[in-house]
Structure 1
Amino acid sequence: MSGKIPKYFINELLSRTDIVELINTRLSLKKYGKNYQTRCPFHQDKTPSFTVNHEKQFYYCFGCNAHGNAIDFLINYEHLNFVESIEELSIIHGIPIPFENNDSNVLYLKKQKLYSLMETLCRLYQKNIHLNKLATEYLFKRGINKKMIEIFLIGYSDVYWHNFSDKFNINKSLEQDLLNHKIIAINKTGYKYDIFQGRIIFPIQDQHGRIIAFGGRSINNTLPKYLNTQETTIFSKGKTIYGLYQVKKICSKPKYLLVVEGYIDVITLTQYDINYVVSSLGTSTTSEHIKLLFQYTNTIIYCYDGDQAGQNAAWRTLIKALPHISDQKNLKFILLPNNEDPDAIIRKEGRDNFQKRIDHAVTMSRFFFKYILKNVNLSSMDEKFQLSALALPLINTISSDTIRIYLRQRLARMIGILDDNQFEKFLYEQEIKKTTKKLIRIKATPMRILIALIVQNPGLAKIAPPLKTLSKSNIKGLQVFLEILQTCLNHPNINTGQLLEFYRNSKIIHILKMLSKWDHMIIQTEIHNMFLDLLRNIYNKTLEERQEYLISKERKKGLNMHEKKEIWNINKKLSQNKIKLFRK
């Protein structure tokens, strides 16, 4: 990111980051020899093929060829862009990003300003709730205790902004910032007001605990009953999960996450020690929600009202989730009695009975067929065909072979095809065969092996002799090798992950990435000797190039005394096959 984020800072971030620890907070890694392994998160992996190397600070999947350093993992796993991944690492390590050019990072600075303003306003809302009897009485009436008020940072916004600003001595500068960022508003007559005026405030936090938005609940029958902050550069309803930060503080990898609809539902269930409850902010579930939730758990349980509207909402969620379901990632549903919500029902029946509902949640496959079979007459051949036409396209969106085949077989029996093999054969004939990516085969030239060795083992640079005499050689790839060698010498403790980061936006990054994961078939104990042998051979080849040039010149023009002496020395070195530079 030349001109934006200094390379030295990126290198510093990577040197502070242990890729094993970073990935292990998101996936369960197991030690396997020198490496760590798990099933790949980027493709349907039946056996662990995703490998993380601590020494190289690099990951690689033998199944789908996914690979990279800590930054690449965040980009691909958490769907971040480059700058967002750097920001993520900077937050983890508690160091700000020192942009080189302030004109290039207006968005970043705007986001930092928003975070600061949201945090300031959140604290004022929190202070204010303890000064407003009506607000606290409402919460206590809803059964929310003081501990939950503190954990979820619940606050209150006064009906009149001028009362609020006077109460907390909000100066003109802060007020103008709040107006500029549209956190508060001003009407045509110049009257300033908080869009959440007269509402209980539920601060919305990101996974790091930063305040990114607010939700407001009316307590005086003002409509709408619930109101959210408008979308900003730090807040998108379709990508945000309420309560996830609180869950993560208790357990970074919960067994499952229970998704409910409202703020109060999350808070009440947490108060009853259901410590894995989150909400999608009252909006329809999105694919981004599902991907985010699956980053923290293998099982998502959605809780809906059992009426028709609730069942329809559950079905829409299921359709969005099908492409993300795998042998590891699964979905379940709880359908509550009509007109009941989690907040009310847990108070009515208690924690243990509510936990039983969770333990007996409806599986994805059961709900799928229960919903899709509604109003289908299986004694009618036409309706069987309609069922097949509706169900098959949905089943085929599932990437897991195991789950997809299981659901197909269940469907086959329902429509009267009892021979599972016959049905699968029929489907196979109807589908376009999936094309698989061919493994990239690299021709093992000496130069490619040499570059691969130093990319995979940057410490080899320390044993390389001075190579200035090679700088004018025309051997293909040599200049690339010499540049990488110099980078490794300039950064003696550099690892593979950091080295690749130096060349992220260069013309050679693709070949370097390819060679970084290439199996050159050289055993570890022989790498040192092979590296020196290859250098020796390249040095000899350079001498041979010079020798050929001088011989050709001698035939055409003749040589001066200096050149005659040079060719004599070259002949001597080549005949002896000993290069002084490489003597141990």
Structure 2
Amino acid sequence: MALSPQWLDELRSRTTLSSLIGRTVKVQKAGREFKACCPFHNEKTPSFTINDEKGFYHCFGCGAHGDAIRWMTDQRGLSFMDAVKDLAAEAQLVVPAPDPRTAQRQETRATLHDVMAAAQDWFVTQFNGIEGAHAREYLKNRGISETTVRAFGFGYAPDSRGHLKDALSDHGVDQLVEAGLLIKVDDREPYDRFRGRLMIPIRDPRGRVIAFGGRLLSEGEPKYLNSPDTPLFDKGRTLYNLDKASPAARQTARILVVEGYMDAIALAQAGFQDVVAPLGTALTEHQIERLWKMVEAPILCFDGDNAGQKAAMRAALRALPILRPSYSLNFIALPKGQDPDDLLRSAGPQAFKALIDQPQTLADKIWQVELNAAPLNTPESKAGLKKRLSDHVRDIADQDIAQHYRQEFQERYENVFFSRHDNQARQKQFPRPKSTFKSQYVSLTPMDDTKSVLVDGYSMRIAKAILGGLIRHPSQISKHFEELTMLQFPDSQMQGLLSELIRTAMRKEMLDMQGLLTILEKTDCYNVAKGLLRADALNFTFNRRLPELAPSDFVERAHHDLAEAIKVITARPGLEAALAEATRRVQENLDEESYAEQQRLRKAKQEFHERLVELTQIDDVV
């Protein structure tokens, strides 16, 4: 859609900004301008200025600034085009259409909007009439006030197969079917979809009715029925109450997500305006992305029963692949068997606020669910927990976030099963030789035991060189997190140093050698680290002291060789195991295929050895 600057200027000139803002904010005349308390931050003295002549607002407190379109996007939470369309409709301007097909779709949608608006008016009329007495009584018994009834537009669909069809006959049967108000099966006569139900309008971010939810008031199933997907309504992308919650969330910097619209309505009545709900489905990736446009960590407040907690976990797992830095989900655990409405009735709004003030993080939620999934009284069940956590980490696409989750779950796992008390008990039973190394580090064994790489005597020299290289080049630690967590030293001093290097790199991304040594100086790893820096026999490029202003290609060579060394030490055990298995198969059944595989693996092992020799060659240029 091509919107020229001239057309947008005309739209702004036809909009009285003070009147637009005055619909939701109390404004007062101040000379040729208007003033108000800023809606974008909490203040008692007005510092928010509106200038109708220039067509902009500005807050001298928080710096918020914009025109009528910016107001609609920032305060109302609309998209740019939705903001333009709303303002254009009020200004009686026609929004340019890009092509005939799009124009036709827009015309169809506009017609369906008219149909849905007419249906909403008719449902409200029935609610306030004689047939709606049962619906009014139901809401009264649930403690829903008349103010809330009007604000959320409750209606009633009579228990009839044709009342709505007859009432809206002017719109045509085809339009009513397309809007999801009638059901048409084969060549049979279409009939009303909603019958004998309390009707709840579902609105888009602009506040227009696009669908309905119906709550059955008699015995039967389903208790709740939503409109089907239509040109206006996609239940996997729509959030109930978003039109009201979006501007409220800008005030609170928070968004609450509950399971259903009745929970959202009850919370809104109790003062929690920043609340939305999915519509009969588990929270989808599209809905999560929509929530992230408002806040970085939405709070999921699902019911305390098993179904509610399963829904919360499904949402958690759907979020993992799309996590990005700073954006996550938070959770609250409602009392068992209660939904938000139950908690409000039994303990009041303060009890609910206390819960949302201390939410559970996404990592906490996944850990808690998996920890409680089964008894952990055997080695096999404990390994099962470890595998489940590892599987969840592998679902995270962002590798930086995945590494932090891997480390977080690993430390929690070891704190539960390998606590200091347990270690002391094992040391009494299986005492180790005395060591001067006293650091109480947390072992960083990998989450997946099948990928553990034990550093044997053959590999120890390479492993020590790698540790020394990481100290000289700390920027490389984070680039090899995955491989480094696979390494297991039989020497507790070396394992402790490796753990400390990884932990330090995770806390501080920008780190040089001197800064790293300063941190290590406060630990028992310091002497070990200094010893590796002085080791004369470690003739790898990445172990050598480079000139203060070393050329970039020398540094790049050291980094490349360090990566190669890490690859060699982590791949060699698997390569040797594969070669041993291939040799066994050749001895049992000598054929061309098994012999070729054995020779291929022998060649690969030789190439690894030759690469190792290359790495240790002294380069006189350096």
- Name 1:289's counterpart in structure 2: 287
Q: Which of 193, 196, 207 is the aligned partner of 1:195?
A: 193
- Name 2:489's counterpart in structure 1: none
Cα RMSD of the aligned pairs, angstroms, is 4.0
CA contact (8 A) 1:266 1:279 kept: yes
CA contact (8 A) 1:324 1:399 kept: yes
Correspondences of 1:416-427 after superposition (within 5 Å): 416=414, 418=441, 427=482
Describe the superposition over 1:110-137 as per-residue Cα deviations: whole angstroms up to 9, x where unpaired.
2221112111211221222111212111
Opposite residue 12 of structure 1, the aligned amino acid is W
Between the aligned partners of 1:188 and 1:330, the Cα distance in structure 2 is 46
- Name 2:140's counterpart in structure 1: 140
Is structure 2 residue 227 aligned with structure 1 residue 229? yes
- Helix, strand or coil at the partner of 1:118: helix
Describe the superposition over 1:302-335 as per-residue Cα deviations: whole angstroms up to 9, x where unpaired.
1223343333222111111123444432322122
- Name 1:183's counterpart in structure 2: 181
- Helix, strand or coil at the partner of 1:201: strand
Is structure 2 residue 217 aligned with structure 1 residue 219? yes
Opposite residue 206 of structure 1, the aligned amino acid is D
- Name 1:477's counterpart in structure 2: none
Between the aligned partners of 2:153 and 2:290, the Cα distance in structure 1 is 23
- Name 2:85's counterpart in structure 1: 90
Opposite residue 138 of structure 2, the aligned amino acid is Y
Opposite residue 288 of structure 1, the aligned amino acid is H
Cα 1:404–1:16 shift into 2, 3 Å: farther
Give the structure-1-normalised TM-score: 0.55
Describe the superposition over 1:44-91 as per-residue Cα deviations: whole angstroms up to 9, x where unpaired.
xxxxxxxxxx99x9xxxxxxxxxxxx9xxx9xxx9x9xxx97566434
Between the aligned partners of 2:6 and 2:136, the Cα distance in structure 1 is 50
Cα 1:96–1:382 shift into 2, 3 Å: farther
CA contact (8 A) 1:258 1:277 kept: yes
Is structure 2 residue 160 aligned with structure 1 residue 160? yes
CA contact (8 A) 2:3 2:96 kept: no
- Helix, strand or coil at the partner of 2:108: helix
Between the aligned partners of 1:400 and 1:420, the Cα distance in structure 2 is 24
Shift of 1:250: 3.4
Shift of 1:231: 0.3
Correspondences of 1:387-406 after superposition (within 5 Å): 387-398=385-396, 403-406=401-404
Shift of 1:211: 1.1
Q: Which of 262, 265, 270 is the aligned partner of 1:264?
A: 262
Opposite residue 155 of structure 1, the aligned amino acid is G
CA contact (8 A) 1:303 1:334 kept: yes
- Name 1:255's counterpart in structure 2: 253
- Name 1:369's counterpart in structure 2: 367
- Helix, strand or coil at the partner of 1:336: coil
- Helix, strand or coil at the partner of 1:156: strand
- Helix, strand or coil at the partner of 2:218: coil
Give the structure-2-normalised TM-score: 0.52
Q: Which of 7, 28, 37 is the aligned partner of 1:12?
A: 7
Between the aligned partners of 2:150 and 2:484, the Cα distance in structure 1 is 60
Cα 1:13–1:347 shift into 2, 3 Å: same
Is structure 2 residue 406 aligned with structure 1 residue 408? yes
CA contact (8 A) 2:165 2:192 kept: no
Cα 1:224–1:422 shift into 2, 3 Å: closer
- Name 2:120's counterpart in structure 1: 122
The 10-residue stretch of structure 1 (136-145 or 100-109) with the greater mean CA deviation from structure 2: 100-109
- Helix, strand or coil at the partner of 2:134: helix
Between the aligned partners of 1:154 and 1:290, the Cα distance in structure 2 is 27
Structure with the larger RCO, 1 or 2 (CA within 8 Å, 6+ apart): 1
Is structure 2 residue 331 aligned with structure 1 residue 333? yes
Shift of 1:352: 0.8
CA contact (8 A) 1:200 1:218 kept: yes
Cα 1:289–1:373 shift into 2, 3 Å: same
Cα 1:352–1:103 shift into 2, 3 Å: closer
Opposite residue 154 of structure 2, the aligned amino acid is I
- Name 1:106's counterpart in structure 2: 104
Between the aligned partners of 2:180 and 2:398, the Cα distance in structure 1 is 45
Between the aligned partners of 2:9 and 2:398, the Cα distance in structure 1 is 34
Cα 1:338–1:8 shift into 2, 3 Å: closer
Cα 1:199–1:413 shift into 2, 3 Å: same
Between the aligned partners of 2:9 and 2:391, the Cα distance in structure 1 is 44
Describe the superposition over 1:222-255 as per-residue Cα deviations: whole angstroms up to 9, x where unpaired.
3211101110122111111001111124343542
Between the aligned partners of 1:11 and 1:111, the Cα distance in structure 2 is 27
CA contact (8 A) 1:10 1:86 kept: no
Between the aligned partners of 1:91 and 1:224, the Cα distance in structure 2 is 36
Between the aligned partners of 1:333 and 1:291, the Cα distance in structure 2 is 17
- Name 2:208's counterpart in structure 1: 210
Opposite residue 268 of structure 2, the aligned amino acid is T
- Name 1:151's counterpart in structure 2: 151
Describe the superposition over 1:418-447 as per-residue Cα deviations: whole angstroms up to 9, x where unpaired.
55677675614699xxxxxxxxxxxxxxxx
CA contact (8 A) 2:182 2:193 kept: yes
- Helix, strand or coil at the partner of 2:326: coil
Between the aligned partners of 1:309 and 1:255, the Cα distance in structure 2 is 29
Between the aligned partners of 1:100 and 1:402, the Cα distance in structure 2 is 42
Cα 1:323–1:200 shift into 2, 3 Å: same
Between the aligned partners of 2:102 and 2:245, the Cα distance in structure 1 is 36
Opposite residue 294 of structure 1, the aligned amino acid is W
CA contact (8 A) 1:269 1:342 kept: yes
Between the aligned partners of 2:84 and 2:307, the Cα distance in structure 1 is 42
Shift of 1:105: 3.5
- Helix, strand or coil at the partner of 1:330: coil
Between the aligned partners of 1:121 and 1:211, the Cα distance in structure 2 is 9
Shift of 1:202: 0.6
Correspondences of 1:416-495 after superposition (within 5 Å): 416=414, 418=441, 427-428=482-483
- Name 2:538's counterpart in structure 1: none
Cα 1:92–1:331 shift into 2, 3 Å: farther
Between the aligned partners of 2:481 and 2:356, the Cα distance in structure 1 is 39
CA contact (8 A) 1:378 1:414 kept: no
Q: Which of 297, 318, 321 is the aligned partner of 2:319?
A: 321
Correspondences of 1:16-55 after superposition (within 5 Å): none
Between the aligned partners of 2:341 and 2:243, the Cα distance in structure 1 is 20
Between the aligned partners of 2:328 and 2:160, the Cα distance in structure 1 is 47
- Name 1:519's counterpart in structure 2: none
Structure 2 gaps of 5+ residues are 18-39, 42-64, 419-440, 447-477, 487-622
Cα 1:182–1:284 shift into 2, 3 Å: closer
- Name 2:300's counterpart in structure 1: 302
Shift of 1:185: 3.5
Q: Which of 309, 312, 316 is the aligned partner of 1:311?
A: 309
CA contact (8 A) 2:267 2:273 kept: yes
CA contact (8 A) 1:157 1:194 kept: no
Between the aligned partners of 2:413 and 2:260, the Cα distance in structure 1 is 40
CA contact (8 A) 2:162 2:192 kept: no
- Helix, strand or coil at the partner of 1:409: helix
Cα 1:185–1:414 shift into 2, 3 Å: closer
- Name 1:353's counterpart in structure 2: 351
